[in-house]
Amino acid sequence: MKFKKMILLSTLAVPVAFGVYYFIPEKALPKGSEVDRLVVYKSKRKMLAYSGENLLKTYTISLGKNPVGHKQFEGDKKTPEGIYTINDRNPNSAYHKNLGVSYPNEGDREFAEKQGKSPGGLIKIHGLRNDRGYIGKFHRWKDWTAGCIAVTDKEIDELYKAVKHNAVIEILP
């Protein structure tokens, strides 16, 4: 009898836990925020948004499918490491909206060329693929991009408004 109750409770608890995770809103960026620096900790799957020295918000992120190490070549599915800038924004992305990362830099290009390969490019901070926004926070459970940094659609909406052009993004292992 106790075993049946445990099974029943487990069967009910799992969907409730998923629902709470999915529907409970997270803290938003303070209204009127201006983000001038982003710091990504790849191993922790975290991205911190700063205004000056003030930490405004921490985001949980997904990365490229092969996240360990610095991006070296097109198609390696790695997220770059180093200091770059946010140099572009696209409100009509295939991934809701996106902010462009200035990868590759001169050193990235030189390294790839010495190997006879392309360094790749088009590294973005982006939301979920259009028509897949319903996945929401569940996207964080897996690294799934081709080398980009992924957040929820709601999160890219707030970052798109708040991140200054040429803001620094430091991507750490």
Does residue 123 contact residue 103 with C-beta atoms inside 8 Å?
A: yes
CA 167 to chain CA centroid, Å, is 16
Set 96, 126, 139, 165: catalytic member: 126
Q: Mark whether 148 is an active-site residue.
A: yes
Given 70, 96, 148, 165, which residue is catalytic?
148
Q: Would you give the end-to-end CA distance of the chain in angstroms?
A: 50
* CA–CA distance, 9 with 164 (Å, rounded to integer): 48
Q: What 3-state class would DSSP assign to 144?
A: coil
Tell me whether residue 96 is one of the annotated catalytic residues.
Answer: no
Active centre residues (catalytic): 126, 148
